[in-house]
Amino acid sequence: MSKLLIVDDESAIRTLIVKYATYEGYEVEEAENGMQAVEKCKKEDYSLVILDIMMPELDGFSAGREIKKLHPNLPIILLSARGEEYDRINGFEIGADDYVVKPFSPKELMMRVAAIIKRSGGEENNRFVFEGLTVDFTARLVFIDEQRIEMSPKEYDLFFYMVRNRGVALTRERLIHDVWGYDFYGDDRTLDTHVKLLRKSLGRYSRCIITLRGVGYRFETVAEPESDADGDAN
């Protein structure tokens, strides 16, 4: 089931969208402002975000940028009472997939949601498989050779973030900011400790977490080294 995040500071708008989205069979979560939306996206995985622009604390443009840093492929539909060309262009520049002007037709909005989820691959984006490693982002589960791997909540957050951004050099500052949050007052040792625990949990797949000296870490799908078939046996 696809899961939507509805972000709007007007409760009446959220209620209206939730009603129609639930009727269409979507699982739905809500956020009252951009800051809440970013924090939710750090902890949960969504199929699509419907994001209002004019909100307190963190506006939709800023929230959209932060969400795209966390999940580059996560579709976003922007909502706004302003339909000027400048606002539309600004929305598409941050990576939004669509821009809907208020007042809008809820039925038409749901059609746009369905089309974008279908185009983006929908549920396929909620799983990652590499050899015997399976990551289910929606259920927050990790399996190695079909055996469930137990991790702490923060290990899950860190691992999912690294897998979502596989192949990308992640600086220590970015990892701490995006995984632990704006109000984190610890130091680099917290990150190093969690990476160490994560590598222990991953067993042979710990090889996929590459240390970048002086920079941070990168998750790569590194093939397991082949064993020496000839060996030294006599």
Contact 185, 177 (CB under 8 A): no
Q: Which of 3-17, 138-152, 168-182 has the lowest mean pLDDT?
A: 168-182
Q: For the segment 68-120, what is each residue's pLDDT rounded down to a tens digit?
A: 888 888 899 999 887 677 778 888 888 888 999 888 999 999 999 988 887 77
Residue ranges in the chain assigned as alpha helix (H): 11-23, 34-43, 60-70, 85-93, 106-120, 153-164, 172-175, 188-202
User: For residues 147-185, b (16+ Cβ closer than 10 Å) or e, as one string?
Assistant: eebebeeebbbbbbbbbbbeeeebebebbbebbbeeeee
User: Mind listing the domains of the chain with CATH numbers?
Assistant: 3-120 (3.40.50.2300), 126-219 (1.10.10.10)
The span from the CA of 40 to the CA of 129, in Å, is 24
pTM: 0.55
